[in-house]
Structure 1
Amino acid sequence: MSELNTNDANVARAAHLDTASLSDAMDRLGINGQCYKLAPRDNGFRMAGRAFTVLYGPAAKPAGTVGDFIDDVPAGGVVVLDNGGREDATVWGDIMTELAHKKGIAGTVIDGICRDVAMCRKLGYPVYSRGHWMRTGKDRVQVEAVNVPVNIGNVRVAPGDILRGDADGVVAIPREHEEQVLSVAEEIETAENRIREAVRNGSRLDEARKVNQYHQLQTKR
């Protein structure tokens, strides 16, 4: 995982929770936060931080820039790029990866694709996207706005929301609900750890799950 803002208590809490537990917590609370189809470019990537959002659109003529925003992203933040799910043009590559890693940015999330995957793997810089391909976004897409609400994997992400990524994908935790989501996710992980411990000590799985209400942990309440 890249640098984490240790002064942000809720980001630190999110970093210690699996996306699966956070997903279950949001299901219980009726919050849509699971970013569909976004996967890590390496299964070892882990990421947690607050969103710095960028909205893309089709390029005009003459084309606008694909983005020089990286200098404005704070250390510990997550770059969140809404390219409308496009898989025919990239919006992130090795120069951005190298600078983001140097600045201590926590990671990058793209509703679209990236390129130069070897660099992010070499540096251990977390990138989550729909895929990767080499075709440039220059003259195909352009930045429309920075730090506005965006759509990432069918999830609304606003600037400052917490993004958590692991091998299973990415969840976005709305700022206005983060305390509740984190508390429920911590409760779920505690219950699942009790089940594991009971089974290790000889209990039947069905009994351990029943005692800890496993099948209702994610049920909407």
Structure 2
Amino acid sequence: MTTQDNNVERASKLDTATISDALDKLGIVGQCYKIKPRSTDFRTTGRAFTIKYGPPSTPVGTVGDFIDDVPVGSIVVLDNGGREDCTVWGDIMTEIAHRRGIAGTAINGICRDVALCLKLGYPVFSRDHWMRTGKDRVQIEATNIPVNLGDARVAPGDLLRGDADGIVVIPREHEDAVLDVAEAIHNTEEAIREACRGGVRLDEARKQFKYHQLQTRGK
């Protein structure tokens, strides 16, 4: 197993809140603002396969037939500029992605056909959902370039983790440091919980384990 593959496994054991705290401590923007799961049961971890959308040309280009080129275990990241007036993901894409073993989809915009992703348990994260198609309204500008996902930069191959609280991106060049800090935060919070279960006051446990410095940059 490569180091990068191992980092996917490491990230999958952490929640997004813990990773968010680690990002804050290191001064890295990776919290994808307002990109939320269509179900609070959805969990996903994987590396980004990115798509950038733009206004349609004449003649109009396609919204996308890229799904068969996405590597198994990847998370499809679609940047539609945060638009909420038309979709770039629906049931056909969900069905094929689920069948092919793609880890999930994250959209800087909206999706539709939510019933199928809920039925299949296929993780979709987006700003919202609505039924109007993106056909003749948007088209693919580029594949596998850096894109925006809720005000966070996502480059191809970056590590993403999603859960009930949303989705975060860990830039490839920082992932070892972020995961190291996140695991330390997780272990500290577990120690605080255990101390409190043993009868220690919360304020005392937090002081003992330096809780208030966990997310502070440079501490």
What residue is the counterpart of 1:97 in the other structure?
A: 94
Is structure 2 residue 140 aligned with structure 1 residue 143? Answer: yes
Q: After TM superposition, list the pairs within 5 Å mapping 1:1-221 onto structure 2.
A: 8-221=5-218
Give the letter for the 1:200 counterpart.
R
Q: Deviation of residue 62 (structure 1)?
A: 1.6
The 3-state SS of whatever aligns with 1:108 is: strand
CA distance in 2, matches of 1:97, 1:162: 21
**1:95-141 deviation line (CA, Å, top 9, x unaligned):** 00000000100000000000000000000000000000000000000
Q: Is the 8 A contact 1:90 1:114 kept in 2?
A: yes
Supply the RMSD in Å over aligned alpha carbons.
Answer: 1.2
Give the letter for the 1:95 counterpart.
I
CA distance in 2, matches of 1:138, 1:62: 12
CA distance in 2, matches of 1:32, 1:75: 27
CA distance in 2, matches of 1:15, 1:58: 35
Count of matched residue pairs: 217
Q: Is the 8 A contact 1:6 1:12 kept in 2?
A: no
CA distance in 2, matches of 1:7, 1:75: 15
**1:188-221 deviation line (CA, Å, top 9, x unaligned):** 0000000000011111000000111111100001
The 3-state SS of whatever aligns with 1:8 is: helix
TM-score by length of 1: 0.97
CA distance in 1, matches of 2:209, 2:23: 19
Q: Is the 8 A contact 1:46 1:126 kept in 2?
A: yes
TM-score by length of 2: 0.97
Give the letter for the 1:123 counterpart.
L
CA distance in 1, matches of 2:60, 2:190: 53
Listed as ranges, the gaps of 5+ residues in structure 1 are none
Give the letter for the 2:111 counterpart.
C
Q: Deviation of residue 161 (structure 1)?
A: 0.1
Give the letter for the 2:26 counterpart.
L
CA distance in 2, matches of 1:16, 1:58: 39
CA distance in 2, matches of 1:211, 1:18: 23
Change (3 A) 1:60 1:127: same
Aligned-pair identity in percent equals 71
Listed as ranges, the gaps of 5+ residues in structure 2 are none
Give the letter for the 1:13 counterpart.
R
- Runs of 4 or more consecutive aligned structure 1 residues displaced over 3 Å after TM superposition: none
